[in-house]
Amino acid sequence: MRIDVVSIFPAYLSSLGLSLVGRAARTGLLDLRVHDLRDWTDDRHRTVDDTPFGGGAGMVMRPDVWGAALDDVMRPGPGLPVDAHLLVPTPSGQPFTQRLAERLTDESHLVIACGRYEGIDARVAQHVGAQHPVTELSIGDYVLNGGEAAALVVVEAVVRLLPGVVGNPQSLVEESHGAAGLLEYPVYTKPPVWEGLEVPEVLLSGHHGRVARWRRDQALERTARRRPDLLAALDVAALDRADRAL
Ligand code: 6GU
């Protein structure tokens, strides 16, 4: 997969060179490139924003600069995948979920446009949308200063799902927001007593059936307490079938 990120703070994205994403890039599973939006300006001050039509506070990012940047970065070329998909992180986007991350793993080329200030002139998404899929997405119901932190989130969530990136694919199966739709159960390691706190007895029992039943109950209880919205969205018949299998 190829991923291009465009930002006025390319250094913000330098952590993508670390850990699992960095290794995926070094081993060739991922072709990751970060660009400075100001490389597409043509004035001495390298201006990327201007005042909003209609008035109001703050500044809006200029369509001409973003248009030039995205026309270049999204253009199919030698060795470049044909259809790039543009992602625009914004608090007014559709929710970024595990399901969306899974769908994005089917893309061969993602381009992430990180806006700042009050956002990017709306015509940029229209212009790119005439040639490419465009998804405006939000990573949660809170406001950030720009799309960079969201771009880090999206890249990590998508890249860890690519074949060969996570060492043990089984660790992708049981996690929170997996297919079961439940939060993950609590986990423990040695020592069995720490600071007077004991690991639940069932986990030391060696009884796989009881362990599986306990974990399932914990996942259900956690989900009910912390995310009743997730529990309400689950298919009751599917829940029952999964329970009877234990
Ligand atoms: Cl994706 N971008 C910005 N700027 N703020 C956000 C966000 C994204 N998601 C939540 N808040």
- Asked whether residue 143 is assigned to any structural domain, the reply reads yes
Residues 180 and 138 in one domain: no
Ligand 1 pocket at CB < 6 A = 89-91, 93, 137-140, 142-144, 146-147, 150
Q: Kindly report, residue by residue over 93-151, the tens digit of the pLDDT.
A: 999 999 999 999 999 999 999 998 899 999 999 999 999 999 999 999 999 999 999 99
Residues 134 and 188 in one domain: no
Instruction: Identify the residue whose C-alpha is closest to ligand 1 atom 6.
Output: 91
Q: Which of 8, 96, 138, 155 to mutate to test the pocket of ligand 1 (most atoms within 8 A of CB)?
A: 138
Residues 99 and 192 in one domain: no
Number of domains the chain is built from: 2
**C-alpha atoms less than 13 angstroms from C-alpha of 185 in its C-beta half-sphere:** 16
Instruction: Identify the residue whose C-alpha is closest to ligand 1 atom 4.
Output: 146
Residues 23 and 139 in one domain: yes
| Amino acid (one-letter) located at 201 | E
Q: Kindly report, residue by residue over 17-75, the tens digit of the pLDDT.
A: 999 999 999 999 999 999 999 999 999 999 999 999 999 999 999 999 999 999 999 99
Q: What was the ipTM of the complex prediction?
A: 0.91
Residues 49 and 83 in one domain: yes
- Asked whether residue 166 is assigned to any structural domain, the reply reads no
**Closest ligand 1 atom to Cα of 141:** 10
- Asked whether residue 106 is assigned to any structural domain, the reply reads yes
| Beta strands 85-95; 197-198: pairing state | unpaired
Range of the domain at 59: 2-159
Do residues 115 and 85 lie in contact, with contact meaning Cβ atoms separated by under 8 Å? no
Residues 140 and 222 in one domain: no
Annotated binding site: 115, 139-144
Residues 144 and 233 in one domain: no
Residues 146 and 180 in one domain: no
Do residues 97 and 145 lie in contact, with contact meaning Cβ atoms separated by under 8 Å? no
Residues 133 and 12 in one domain: yes
Annotated binding site for S-adenosyl-L-methionine: 115, 139-144
Instruction: Identify the residue whose C-alpha is closest to ligand 1 atom 7.
Output: 91
- Asked whether residue 167 is assigned to any structural domain, the reply reads no
CB-based contacts of 185, cutoff 8 Å, min separation 6: 214, 215, 216, 218, 219, 222
Residues 182 and 74 in one domain: no
Residues 37 and 114 in one domain: yes
- Distance between CA atoms of 136 and 141, rounded to whole angstroms? 14
Residues 186 and 148 in one domain: no
- Asked whether residue 204 is assigned to any structural domain, the reply reads yes
User: What is the domain-level CATH number for residue 64?
Assistant: 3.40.1280.10
